[in-house]
Structure 1
Amino acid sequence: MHGCNSQAERMENIPESSSKGTKRRRDEDSDAGNSSSLKDDLSFTDTLVALRIMRVQFPHIDKVSVKPFILKSQLYSSVKDRTQVDRELETLRRDKVLRLFKLNTGQDDHAVMFLDDYLNQIDCVVKRMGGKKGGEYEVFGWFKTHVLDSKLESGIEHQELCSLLSLGGKVKESHISLLINAGILTRQLIDPNTYWFAIPNIGSLLKGLVQGRKEIISLLSRRRYKEMMLAALEKKRLRMSPLDMRFHLRDLIGSGHLSTDQTPTGLIIRVSKD
């Protein structure tokens, strides 16, 4: 299912400077701020700029077709003013540029995905499910047109969901089941009458996110001062997560689990004091 998540697609917003493979890749990388080290992009002044660069830098993962998503914690690591991040995310959400998703990782994690990417992801999932035009699969069209367009929050109650879907046609329980089976909605545990909007196919990456966090903290905790030079840490390969080191470090720094310290020999990453 690579067609749904190609590298070329992820680079679509980045200007092309040459038709030569390596040179183009290098140009794309530099245009995207995709520098060799994370230390160069730990400070942005604008949330949308940070989002666009992190979207391009989203790790390419084999066998998982998920459009690039960014964690709110990663934005906190790169845009110093958290209130500004929250405010700008809220504006972008209201303007329907992106959507926010509550993640079931046991923490207060939120993922951000550009709306166009999310709509494409839904199309990919429907295609893979063998969705035909008409029949019960028409619910996906109703969902995109009537639900996503008017419900911008991260959750929705059953009654409101049915009411919005009914703008497209007669709603049956099997329609709702189809949306849940596709991974587009998940039931809230506390209130089964309410659903979270979800990113389809994200399950294995969320597992990797949780395990990668533990792996990095454990790696640093075993060191004498619970710290390591960023340059050395970036070279480490993660065993427990398909996501790359940069993705995890941004998340852990932004969530306060790790802190950074600039020294004459380079940036140090250390486990934050409890």
Structure 2
Amino acid sequence: MDTTPKKRKEGEPLRDLSNINLASPKSKLLKVYRPLTSPVKPKPPTSIAEEHPDDFSIEGVAHLQRQLNYFCQVIKDAKPHLNKENLKIDEKPNKPPPFVVVDMAGLREHAGTFTCIPPVILRSQLYNHVGDPTRVDRDLDEMKKNGSVRVFRFLSDKEDYGIVNIEDYKNQIRMKRDQLNKLNPEKNYDLLDTFIDRVLPLAKGSSVTQEELRQIFSPEDKMIPDDYITLLMDAGVLLTKEHDTYWIAVPNVGPFLKCLMQGRKELIRMINSKRWKELLVKDLMRKKIRYTVIDADTHVEDLLGRQQIESLDTTAGRLLRVKGGERKR
């Protein structure tokens, strides 16, 4: 059978296509094209939640909502130029704040290993939202000096810092004190009250030396009792930095940092596993990031702030790409 298409003769009328159903599988005119992903004019990176407000919920995470309200108010009072508009924060309750939002279903699934989530804002997330790391660092320094927040150096990476509301931090230490006193009534973990009342107001940096602790706990003695250091390390508020220097830490932060590191690696692997080394946000929202109970939005904001990935607006939607990665077409 001759399948060569016939040429239209001169003067022959065009065929009427108005009655053809182009969606019919029998239609020879139906063609499927791969959507183009050529970048258009880039916009400053924003929270993915602004595009997908229905995919997130902070119901049941009351301490995180309190943290958001407090932090926004502190920034607004301290720095008029660094307000809610700059942070791209929307007060609608169905949108998450620009910090750690817990996947409650995942949290229940991993309840045996991840039972206490510290109310922590990642510095990298603030870098992403504000867009000016220098200004963020300057404003955080001012808030550290007035004692409204504490900035912690996380041992997961030299660039990992967390910001905690000072009142939330104190409350968490008190809960840890009560828990340890029940588990080990023979030890006196009421020393943590002294840590809250005397150490935190004087040691405002990320670390504290043994000499500073000696002057705070026993100014008339030449040496701080070793039991003091041991109790504070058992409670998780001190970590060894050097021989006579200690990091001031967040209790129970270990499982959180483990999920943070594993989630970063998994998200980068997911992007690099794609044919074009690119991943659309709408496709990411349909997937579950393995090895972490922290949601995808938080991991994306973290990696954007760390400048490990970049975000582009395309005709197909928001696109994520690993920075410096080769894309072979």
* TM-score, normalised relative to structure 1: 0.78
Mapping of residues 107-146 of structure 1, within 5 Å = 107-130=158-181, 136-146=188-198
C-alpha distance in structure 2 between counterparts of 1:57 and 1:227, whole Å? 25
Tell me the CA shift for residue 150 of structure 1: 1.3
One of 175, 178, 186 as aligned partner of 2:231: 178
Deviations 1:171-222 (A, max 9, x none): 521121011011110001xx22100011111111111111111101111001
1:55–1:69 contact (8 Å) kept in structure 2? yes
One of 299, 306, 315 as aligned partner of 1:248: 299
Q: Could you say if the C-alpha distance between residues 231 and 143 of structure 1 is closer, same or farther in structure 2, counting changes exceeding 3 Å?
A: same
Which residue identity does 2:321 align to in structure 1?
R
Q: Which moved more, 1:214-223 or 1:125-134?
A: 125-134
C-alpha distance in structure 2 between counterparts of 1:218 and 1:235, whole Å? 16
C-alpha distance in structure 1 between counterparts of 2:252 and 2:296, whole Å? 21
Q: Could you say if the C-alpha distance between residues 83 and 58 of structure 1 is closer, same or farther in structure 2, counting changes exceeding 3 Å?
A: farther
Tell me the CA shift for residue 44 of structure 1: 5.3
One of 268, 276, 295 as aligned partner of 1:225: 276
Mapping of residues 1-274 of structure 1, within 5 Å = 7-12=61-66, 45-46=86-87, 53-55=97-99, 57-60=101-104, 61-62=107-108, 63=111, 64-130=115-181, 136-166=188-218, 171-188=224-241, 191-273=242-324
Which structure shows the bigger proportion of residues in helix conformation? 1
1:103–1:111 contact (8 Å) kept in structure 2? yes
Q: Could you say if the C-alpha distance between residues 261 and 187 of structure 1 is closer, same or farther in structure 2, counting changes exceeding 3 Å?
A: same
Identical positions, percent: 29
Larger RCO: 1 or 2 (CA < 8 Å, sep 6+) = 2
Q: Which moved more, 1:128-137 or 1:141-150?
A: 128-137
1:136–1:175 contact (8 Å) kept in structure 2? no
Q: Could you say if the C-alpha distance between residues 175 and 255 of structure 1 is closer, same or farther in structure 2, counting changes exceeding 3 Å?
A: same
* Residue ranges of structure 1 left out of the alignment (5+ in a row): 1-5, 16-42
C-alpha distance in structure 1 between counterparts of 2:68 and 2:139, whole Å? 22
Q: Helix, strand or coil: the match of 1:137?
A: coil
Q: Could you say if the C-alpha distance between residues 165 and 58 of structure 1 is closer, same or farther in structure 2, counting changes exceeding 3 Å?
A: farther
C-alpha distance in structure 2 between counterparts of 1:176 and 1:48, whole Å? 41
C-alpha distance in structure 2 between counterparts of 1:84 and 1:47, whole Å? 16
CA RMSD of aligned residues (A): 3.0
Which residue identity does 1:201 align to in structure 2?
N
Tell me the CA shift for residue 162 of structure 1: 2.1
Q: Could you say if the C-alpha distance between residues 44 and 85 of structure 1 is closer, same or farther in structure 2, counting changes exceeding 3 Å?
A: farther
Q: Which moved more, 1:131-140 or 1:194-203?
A: 131-140
Tell me the CA shift for residue 265 of structure 1: 2.9
Q: Could you say if the C-alpha distance between residues 49 and 68 of structure 1 is closer, same or farther in structure 2, counting changes exceeding 3 Å?
A: farther
Q: Helix, strand or coil: the match of 2:86?
A: coil
Q: Could you say if the C-alpha distance between residues 59 and 117 of structure 1 is closer, same or farther in structure 2, counting changes exceeding 3 Å?
A: farther
1:47–1:89 contact (8 Å) kept in structure 2? no
